[in-house]
Amino acid sequence: MITIKEATTKKDLKAFVRFPFKLYKDSKYWVPPIIKQELETFNKEKNPIFKDAEARFFLAYKNEEIVGRISAIINWLEVDKQGIKKMRFGWFDFIDDLEVSQALLKTVEDIGKENQLEFVEGPVGFSNLDKVGVMTEGFEHLSTMITWYNHAYYIKHYETYGFKIEKEYSESEFPFKNVKPEFFKKAQELIKRRYKIKALKFTKTEEVMPYADRMFDLFNESYSSLSSFVEITDIQKEYFKKKFISFVNPEYIKFVVDENDKLIGFAVVMPGFAKALQKANGKLFPMGFSHILKAKKHSKDVIFYLIGIHPDYQNKGVHAVIFNEYYETFKEKGIQTCYRTPELEDNVAIKQIWKHFDPKVYARRKTLRKELL
């Protein structure tokens, strides 16, 4: 018999966060989160997303042992402002037992019906800056700190419960040696002169901060047309600045501004932290922090996390300016492999940006949907 219990106490939430550590203890490819940071994500006092969203966390028990978990999420910005009556769910992990997965999914369904929502979609987080999608290919590749990893049996559980594909994503990689500067070197000089724009270089995190709010504003503008988009609010900006920017080398953040110092393009690249996080095994102390700091300084892998161009400057080659800046930085640091985070398969514009680098898809993932009416 499966028992579903809501995780409400600190002890319960810690069990919620720690469950995957047991489920994936024998996996070479799963990358553990930092437990402290994960708990802060679920802390209603610390994460400002709870100003506009609500979440409940559930654990599944079988024979008094935890065998699954799920979070049930409603983003009220999405529901009320955009009119998308969606019940979200994420952080969904479970043993290969249909009773377990179905009991957890039914719990989410019931909450959606109680709130007069029209459909369930997941796995997704609170917003576009959270992890997304269940993996369907690429299980033999090391995950990243900004994606969920899962066992191959997961997709069968979704399909058995009646879920249908909603969105499809791919992740790709290319060796840095594939980057041929002739594709953007001359073009970026012409583009800078034509549009009177320039790239900004940073060497210290505090230099980035005055532009960070503008970056999130531009993120909202440049991503608003995507089907999965939910805006980042002002109060969330402060939270994400603290959560993400400290993890990024300042020289891996590239901004492009016009002659009036208006931000018209940005990109954020993160060092490859996967192996360091595996060594840390969820803890910053005593050695986890040193593993992460070493990776930040010396990792030869980079992950293209975000890139955005103002709508007025899209299709005008601004990305060539950004790529030129990264080329010089990566060449100096001896970067070997570049990875791209999950990108929507229907995002044609982003595929055009990367085509000259001959990227190879190494993983695919999906979100799935089930009607509630």
Average pLDDT over residues 145-157: 96
Handedness of CA 129, 132, 137, 143 (dihedral sign): positive
Q: Does the pLDDT of residue 243 top 80, yes or no?
A: no
Average pLDDT over residues 148-161: 98
Residue 236, pLDDT above cutoff 90: no
Cut 0.75: pTM above it: yes
- Supply angle C-alpha 9, 12, 18, rounded to 5: 140
What are the tens digits of pLDDT across the range 289-306? 899 999 999 999 999 998
The CA dihedral of 291, 297, 299, 302, to the nearest 10 degrees, is 120
**Per-residue pLDDT at 82 exceeds 70:** yes
Structural domain spans, the chain: 2-172, 175-362
Mean per-residue pLDDT, 247-253: 91
pLDDT score recorded for residue 128: 79
Q: Is the peptide bond before 181 cis (omega within 30 degrees of 0)?
A: no
**Are 2-172 and 175-362 the same fold in CATH?**
yes
Instruction: Report the pLDDT value the prediction gives residue 228, as an integer from 0 to 100.
Output: 62
Note the pLDDT of residue 252. 96
**Span 93-117, mean pLDDT?**
98
Condensed to tens digits (0 to 9), the pLDDT of residues 16-67 reads 999 999 999 999 999 999 999 999 999 999 999 999 999 999 999 999 999 9
- Interatomic CA distance for residues 261 and 226, integer angstroms: 27
Query: Phi/psi at 100 (nearest 5 deg)?
Result: -70, -55
Predicted confidence at residue 10, as pLDDT, reads 95
Residue-wise pLDDT for 207-229, tens only, equals 998 888 899 899 888 887 766 67
Superfamily (CATH H level) for 175-362: Gcn5-related N-acetyltransferase (GNAT) (3.40.630.30)
The mean per-residue pLDDT over the stretch 141-164 comes to: 96
**Which band of pLDDT confidence, cut at 50, 70 and 90, is reported for residue 250?**
very high
Classify domain 2-172 by CATH architecture.
Answer: 3-Layer(aba) Sandwich (3.40)
| pLDDT recorded at residue 347 | 80
